[in-house]
């Protein structure tokens, strides 16, 4: 099973049933925006803690403007698309949230919860 398939299952059968609606909403957003694009194609049985740590470090260090091409979408590029990265990173709190959701999902997947 791929991580994306498990995350969908986990949101529907574990989070939606056992958590408050606002928690489900926040988890769903993190899964959709960060976890599925980053880890979704990995097979659960081959996914290792080191893979998740490496990916999470990359997420924390990636300029979101470059990644999402925000500057390129502007009528007049100001930073990343103009050749000078603005280094807009995710907040520490958002990285912690991504880590927490991934940890909860993987602990559930591997029976550690």
* Per-residue pLDDT in tens (0 to 9) along the chain, 113 residues: 999 999 999 999 999 999 999 999 999 999 999 999 999 999 999 999 999 999 999 999 999 999 999 999 999 999 999 999 999 999 999 999 999 999 999 999 998 75
pLDDT score, position 43: 97
* Closest CA relative to residue 69, chosen from 81, 51, 85, 56: 81
Confidence (pTM) = 0.91
pLDDT of residue 111: 83
Q: Is the dihedral of CA 30, 34, 37, 40 positive or negative?
A: negative
CA distances, 2 to each of 31, 38, 41 (Å): 14, 12, 6
- The DSSP code sequence of 24-37 is HHHHHHHIIIIIHH
pLDDT at 113: 52
């Amino acid at each position: 099973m791929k991580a994306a398939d498990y995350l969908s299952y986990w949101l529907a059968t574990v989070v939606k049933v056992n958590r408050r609606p606002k928690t489900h909403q926040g988890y769903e957003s993190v899964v959709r925006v960060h976890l599925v694009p980053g880890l979704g194609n990995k097979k659960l049985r081959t996914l290792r803690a080191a893979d998740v740590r490496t990916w999470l470090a990359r997420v924390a260090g990636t300029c979101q403007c470059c990644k999402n091409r925000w500057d390129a979408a502007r009528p007049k590029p100001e930073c990343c698309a103009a050749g000078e990265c603005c280094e807009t990173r995710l907040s520490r709190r958002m990285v912690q949230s991504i880590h927490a959701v991934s940890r909860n999902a993987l602990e559930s997947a591997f029976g550690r919860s």
